[in-house]
Amino acid sequence: MNVSDVILEMKDITKQFASVKALDKVNFKVKRGEIHALCGENGAGKSTLMKVLSGVYPFGDYEGDIVFEDGVCQFKNIRQSEDLGIVIIHQELALIPHLSIAENIFLGNEQEKNGIINWNETLAEAKKYLEMVGLSESPETLITDIGVGKQQLVEIAKAIAKKVKLLILDEPTAALNEDDSENLLNLLLTFKEQGITSIIISHKLNEVTAVSDSITILRDGQTIETLDKAKGEATEERIIKGMVGRDLSQRFPEREPNIGEVIFEVKNWNAYHPLHKDRKILDDINFHIRKGEIVGIAGLMGAGRTELAMSIFGKSYGAKISGEMFKDGKELRLNHATDAIEAGLAYVSEDRKGNGLLLEETVMRNISLASLGKLSSNGVMNEYEEAKEAEDYRKKLNIKTPSIWQLVGNLSGGNQQKVVLSKWMLSEPDILFLDEPTRGIDVGSKYEIYTIIQELAAMGKGICMISSELPEILGICHRIYAMNEGRITGEVLQKDATGEIMMGYMTSHVEGEIKNEK
């Protein structure tokens, strides 16, 4: 291969977060003028790699070399990578809602002279870029007045305005409907003809195989392989195999399940986006949990898993929620988290810091938060009982903290997660929804948390575990539902489940054939 054919080469990139190696000697090579897809499970290191490339993690923060257009790069910030023509468009769009399209396109890159903006120039140029991305909106339209699909196009126009040579798109179609997605992918093909190189990170394998020339697969922070479409290597099966293939033994505690009657059931569950009320987030969901059973919900980012759990948990998410749910055969109507807790439900949030913990409060006060009623009489707290319960859980779950009076913000991720689990165990639920219970915590703590989950199941509780990590779902769930685009697309028993089968369902667009478990 001729050297100048390669626009970007990342060599032996290693990036460490505290004790976790997010990237481990990753090699990544992109040819000039191609569309290169980056695939991998959540947490495989795709976004981290792109953040290293774009200077979000500055030089010195990682090991290895970045060679762009035959020059070694040492970016200190995003500005420097953008000056060379590397532009990244993040999953969460970085547009300012109450500014116009034109103002957003030239944000930080204003058409000005001596600090005075030339509005005619700005609007004329913006119009030119909008035409290039095929967006027929006035450049004076406010961002908040256009849909997500068009916003995505504005982001791309913004990138072109920066004279982009290498365009990086992180999950560009995750929030788009099919028409908008197709538009966007066609646009990438047009850019390819104009000589712009693109990298796309995507979970949608059908899209990946349709548009990309090469596909690099990452797993656990390492490069697995790069597939060349011209050689016919880029099949969905092969990508899936690369994404999930790893040794599962010894990472999960063994335990014989003791599964009983159906304890919880959801029927015909629908919900819409809380802001965009015409966007359906959950589409006719049906599932059930048995006593002592750990049910997994597998799905990729944006599949609607968290939304499902939260909408069930006292309508804590979504609008126009409809459907029925039953506990022990009796119908439940839950309008607030309070009702859900009273009915014996618990929800451990995926967003530990944002939705789960009071970081500036003590371990004790966090553990008691969902059980204040039980720990008080006539509104007066029984602080002694509270401390005793907190101390019990500290010992039971082996929370590593100097004492229960320590601030939760000072604990490690794994121990914080144990505090959240303690909180919900203290509320004595019958059904627990665990949303990404092991996200961002080390392997040792993960094993402990799996053990706790299995013990809860052994006590006869129904567990619903949402996880983006397929191995852990396959490792500890007795039965697994797959979700994609707000629908349940498959149901598999643990003994029948493999990573390939699950990934197939998780990326499937048709309602899965629900197998009868009996």
Which of residues 210 and 359 has its CB atom nearest to another protein in the complex? 359
Which of residues 223 and 427 has its CB atom nearest to another protein in the complex? 427
What is each CA distance from 257 to 325, 451, 464, 496, 500, in whole angstroms? 25, 13, 15, 16, 24
Which of residues 322 and 403 has its CB atom nearest to another protein in the complex? 403
Which of residues 222 and 376 has its CB atom nearest to another protein in the complex? 376
Q: How far is the CB of 372 from another protein (least distance, A)?
A: 5
Q: Which of 141, 249, 132 is CA-nearest to residue 196?
A: 132
Cα separation, 435 vs 350, in Å, equals 5
Which of residues 29 and 423 has its CB atom nearest to another protein in the complex? 423
Backbone angles phi, psi at 165, to 5 degrees: -110, -35
Which of residues 300 and 411 has its CB atom nearest to another protein in the complex? 411
Q: Please say whether the beta carbons of 286 and 323 come within 8 A.
A: no
Q: How far is the CB of 393 from another protein (least distance, A)?
A: 15
Cα separation, 425 vs 423, in Å, equals 6
Which of residues 92 and 179 has its CB atom nearest to another protein in the complex? 92
Which of residues 100 and 368 has its CB atom nearest to another protein in the complex? 368
Torsion of CA 118, 123, 126, 128, to 10 degrees: -110
Cα separation, 191 vs 214, in Å, equals 16
Which of residues 295 and 345 has its CB atom nearest to another protein in the complex? 345
Instruction: Report DSSP letters for 117-168, one per residue.
Output: E-HHHHHHHHHHHHHHTT--S-TTSBGGGS-HHHHHHHHHHHHHHTT-SEEE
Residues paired with 332 in a beta bridge:
325
Q: How far is the CB of 314 from another protein (least distance, A)?
A: 8
Helix (H) / strand (E) element for 356: namely none
Q: Please say whether the beta carbons of 143 and 84 come within 8 A.
A: no
Residue 245 token pair: 């293939």
Q: How far is the CB of 313 from another protein (least distance, A)?
A: 7
Residues paired with 296 in a beta bridge:
465, 480
Helix (H) / strand (E) element for 446: namely helix 443-458
E strands in 349-427? 376-377, 380-381
Cα separation, 28 vs 451, in Å, equals 38
Other C-beta atoms within 10 Å of 255: how many? 15
Binding residues vs another protein (CB under 8 A):
313, 316, 336-338, 340-342, 347, 349, 354-362, 365, 368-370, 372-373, 376, 379-381, 383-384, 387-388, 402-403, 405-407, 423, 427
Q: Please say whether the beta carbons of 202 and 302 come within 8 A.
A: no
254: Cβ contacts below 8 Å, ≥ 6 apart: none
Residue 96 token pair: 């300012």
Which of residues 137 and 342 has its CB atom nearest to another protein in the complex? 342
